[in-house]
Structure 1
Amino acid sequence: MNRPLKILVLQFASIGDVVLTTPVVRSLKQQLPNAIIHFCTKQAYQSIVENNPRIARAHFVDGNLFRLLKELRAEQFDYVIDLQNTFLTSLIKATTGSRSYSIEKQSFREWLYIRWKVNAMTEQHIVDRYMATIQPLGVENDGRGLDYFIPYKDEVETNWLPETHQNGFVAYAIGGQSLTRRLPVLRMIELCIKINYPVILLGDKADRKVGDEIVQAIGERQIYNACGHFNLNQSASLLQRARVVFSHDTGLMHIAAAFRKKVYSIWGSTTPQFGFYPYKTPHVRLETPGLGCRPCSASNSGNCPMKHFKCMNNLPSILK
């Protein structure tokens, strides 16, 4: 009888990055039947990993790094799978003393692409790069896409929604890590008008003000501003029920992909060539072609450094 094989998976970057690791977790668990999977991430992402039935235990960075390192070392893992390859994950690997496999970073290629617009990026989705990390264990990509698990308590009931949205709706994730990843408000309004169907706006509390502006411009019969009203799992429940999903380059886009929704992904300062486009689901990429300033060095902070924001302002007509 094979003894249990304890495996730790590391990913701290973002909501989307954690969702994108789910094929790794599933493949490890299903192709190594004796595997016991642990997952280490930020406390903020607890609701994503704690409901994944393939994860036996989650560990979180809660501000006390020494305590976390002591906790992980005590587990005596057989393998550590590092899907981020940062100083923190290197410290964890050194502390555990376990055999590890780490994702191959593309820092120089990314620098060339952002700084000099030389696209030397590999034509590979980030999930496929994650999966390549565990190939030495004899684990292959099963091609089944992403997973997302919603607990029953977070399933949104139909009667929680306005009557105008109870018989079907389109979801639009209006958030983004920076202004350069989001449509300007007027273009969001233009998009919602063109959809011409009940729309639920999704995002966090920081997005609520923009959502209110869209509602004020179009009206409550077509637009329901759910930003900040639902938690992450409840927002995922709404994505699961949506007819289609529009999204900026954000974590909710990847959650929609986990439910195999058709996704209209909207790209500004970032580009799909970085490998973070919707995975294993029907999708349409909406971006302004031929701009010499994309991808943008301000992809994660600030406003357009060129002051024109053509990547979003010149975006071709989204709906004909």
Structure 2
Amino acid sequence: MEKPFRRILIIKMRFHGDMLLTTPVISTLKQNYPDAKIDVLLYQNTIPILSENPEINALYGISNKGAGTKEKIKNALSLIKKLRANSYDLVVNLTDQWSVALIVRFLNAKTKISQDFGNRQSALWKKSFTHLVPYAGEHAVERTLSALKPLALKQYVTETTMSYRPEHWENMRQQLKQLGVTRQYVVIQPTARQLFKCWDNDKFSQVIDAVQRRGYQ
């Protein structure tokens, strides 16, 4: 699909880690369409994951909790108005919330791509997009990038990106200093939102012991 897209909207409303795994899609689109402005629609509380990414033009946050029905409708209409004003010519959807179909229907983009979710097979959903793409690949990054198949891109970026400002690094150094961390250290995160992603406690214990024996804090 040889089109010089100028305004691109990526939709991904999931958790923090999922947003990080979305960055290869952003980088791939930016590399293939360097003059395009790329916006992202995501949950409000995950904005910090992408807020410093230089490849992103604008972030549009949507709340996933705390608002009543009337407030949600009001916010949705306001959001749609803002998105329509951007005149996107490409929309790439990477999430299966049913509300996405309604939002996308109000956008005038000629190319609307979505991954083909097994739990979204209704006519309303399918007719909201010009292309539905089956998952392909084993790794989460590969599966996410597979949504771009209709574009027939020649170059793909598979690395994830987490961007920071210099003051973020300095703030981190000051906090480590206050905590007495003065040498190389290792951060271990043994918990997960979903139980099937958790490793055995005794295995984590063995890893921690091994790391300490090597002189890390």
Name the TM tier (shorter chain): 0.7 to 0.9
1:25 aligns with 2:26: yes
Q: Match for 2:184: what amino acid?
A: G
Output the amino acid matched with 2:141.
V
TM-score (norm 2): 0.73
Mapping 1:103-142, distance limit 5 Å: 103-105=115-117, 123-142=137-156
Once the two structures are TM-superposed, the CA of residue 148 in structure 1 deviates from its matched residue by 1.0
Which 10-residue stretch deviates more, 51-60 or 186-195?
Answer: 186-195
Q: Percent identity?
A: 22
Which amino acid in the other structure matches residue 24 of structure 2?
Answer: P
Q: Which residue of 1 aligns with 2:182?
A: 166
| C-alpha spacing 1:3/1:128, structure 2 compared with 1 (3 Å) | closer
**Structure 1's 141 and 91: CA in aligned 2 closer, same or farther, altered over 3 A?**
farther
Question: How big is each residue's C-alpha offset from its partner over 1:105-157, in whole Å with a ceiling of 9 and x where there is no partner?
Answer: 3559xxxxxxxxxxxx9652222222222232232453441111012221121
Aligned length: 186
Distance in 1, Cα, partners of 2:56 & 2:24: 12
Gap runs ≥5 in structure 2: 64-71, 121-134
In the other structure, the counterpart of 2:45 is: 44
SS at match of 2:54: coil
| Deviation, structure 1 residue 186 | 6.3
CA distance in 1, matches of 2:189, 2:94: 26
TM-fit CA distance, 1:191: 3.8
| Aligned residue in 1 for 2:16 | 15
- Which protein has greater RCO, CA pairs closer than 8 Å, 6+ apart? 2
> Aligned-pair RMSD on alpha carbons?
2.9
Distance 1:133 1:192 in 2: 38
CA distance in 1 between partners of 2:150 and 2:17 (Å): 25
- Residues 96, 194 of structure 1: alpha-carbon distance in 2 compared, 3 angstrom cutoff: same
The partner residue of 1:80 within 82, 91, 101 is 91
Structure 1 residue 93: Cα displacement:
1.1
Deviation at 1:166, TM superposition (A): 2.0
Paired AA for residue 33 in structure 2: L
What residue ranges of structure 1 are gaps of 5+ in the alignment? 109-120, 200-221, 223-320
Matched, 1:101 2:94: no
Conserved? CA contact 2:27–2:157, under 8 Å: no
Q: In the aligned structure 2, how far is the partner of 1:22 from the partner of 1:3?
A: 21
Aligned to 2:164, the other structure's residue is in SS state coil
Residues 153-232 of structure 1 mapped to structure 2, 5 A cutoff:
153-155=167-169, 156-157=172-173, 160-161=176-177, 162-163=179-180, 165-183=181-199, 188-196=204-212, 197=214, 222=217
AA paired with 1:147? T
After TM superposition, give the deviation of residue 13 of structure 1 in Å.
0.9
| 2: CA distance, partners of 1:3 / 1:31 | 9
Alignment check: 8 A CA contact 2:93 2:114 kept: yes
Distance 2:57 2:118 in 1: 31
Task: Name the amino acid aligned to 1:126.
Answer: A
SS of equivalent residue, structure 2 residue 153: coil
Q: For 1:172-207, what per-residue CA distance to the aligned partner results, in whole angstroms no more than 9, with x for missing partners?
A: 0133103554356666445422332566xxxxxxxx
Equivalent in the alignment of 1:152: 166
Q: Which runs of 4+ in 1 moved over 6 A?
A: none
Match of 2:124 in 1: none
| Counterpart AA for 1:59 | Y
The secondary structure found in structure 2 opposite 1:145 is coil
Distance in 2 of aligned mates of 1:54 and 1:143:
13
In the superposition, relative to structure 1, how do residues 126 and 181 fare at CA in structure 2: closer, same or farther (>3 Å)? closer
Aligned counterparts of 2:158 and 2:4: Cα–Cα separation in 1 = 28
TM-score (norm 1): 0.51
Q: Distance in 2 between matches of 1:124 and 1:141?
A: 19
Of 93, 102, 105, 1:91 maps to 102
